[in-house]
């Protein structure tokens, strides 16, 4: 790991002192996430937030929001993209390798085992009832996770002024309404949101220069 990465980790901007980063610790962190991320992407995101932002302070909430934004505009599995980008940011190419290994190996093994069991008991009424209850819990965690993702965006734009703050809310609500009622390709919403953000940035930058 480079000195620049060390400095960035040590000044992560979150409350508390950042833990020293070693490849072995990075691997074990992802391994723990891989073993406990039952419930899909929302649960995995929540565990990433807990471990990397709030517990170890290796990245900030704003950095994680940027990672999510970058991952959304590329095809493929988002969680894998998060893992690659976080590993690269913290420890370069070696970080990518240990991060992917830590996340994927236990997850793949557990998925195979649980799928084999589920195939034999999926038709039982009690199992169906339990799955509906689990889904409700996962939905609640997804709401908490998405709020954590959006909160740094709101805080940063609120500090910039009323216009950026209201624009961020408008882009978020507008994207949701367009997706629900018109169902355009997701990439179109990303492009529209990015365009609105760029126009807003130019306006705010122009006002600052005038002042």
Assigned domain for 44 exists: yes
Assigned domain for 15 exists: yes
Assigned domain for 177 exists: no
Assigned domain for 95 exists: yes
Assigned domain for 183 exists: no
Contact 201, 161 (CB under 8 A): no
Assigned domain for 74 exists: yes
| Tens-place pLDDT, residues 138-193 | 778 778 888 888 888 788 878 877 877 887 888 888 888 888 888 888 778 878 87
Indicate the number of domains in the chain. 1
Q: What residue numbers bound the domain in which 26 lies? A: 3-124
Assigned domain for 186 exists: no
pLDDT block averages, 10 residues each, the chain of length 211: 43 59 92 82 87 93 87 80 94 95 88 78 75 76 81 81 81 85 82 79 64 58
Q: How far apart are CA 95 and CA 163, in angstroms?
A: 39
Contact 82, 71 (CB under 8 A): yes
Assigned domain for 159 exists: no
């Amino acid at each position: 790991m480079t000195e620049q990465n060390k400095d960035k980790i040590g000044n992560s901007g979150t409350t508390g002192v950042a833990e020293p980063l070693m490849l072995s610790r990075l691997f074990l962190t992802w391994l723990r996430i891989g073993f406990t991320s039952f419930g899909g992407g929302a649960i995995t995101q929540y565990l990433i937030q807990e471990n990397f932002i709030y517990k170890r302070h290796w990245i900030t909430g704003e950095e994680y929001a940027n990672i999510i934004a970058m991952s959304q505009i590329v095809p493929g599995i988002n969680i894998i993209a998060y893992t690659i980008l976080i590993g690269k940011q913290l420890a370069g190419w070696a970080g990518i390798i240990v991060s992917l290994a830590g996340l994927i190996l236990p997850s793949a093994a557990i998925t195979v085992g649980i799928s084999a069991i589920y195939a034999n008991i999926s038709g039982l009424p009690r199992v169906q009832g339990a799955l509906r209850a689990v889904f409700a819990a996962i939905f609640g965690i997804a709401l908490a996770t998405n709020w954590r993702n959006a909160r740094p965006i709101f805080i940063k734009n609120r500090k910039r002024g009323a216009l950026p703050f209201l624009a961020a809310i408008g882009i978020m609500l507008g994207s949701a309404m367009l997706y629900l009622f018109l169902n355009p390709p997701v990439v179109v919403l990303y492009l529209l949101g990015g365009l609105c953000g760029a126009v807003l940035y130019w306006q705010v930058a122009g006002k600052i220069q005038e002042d």
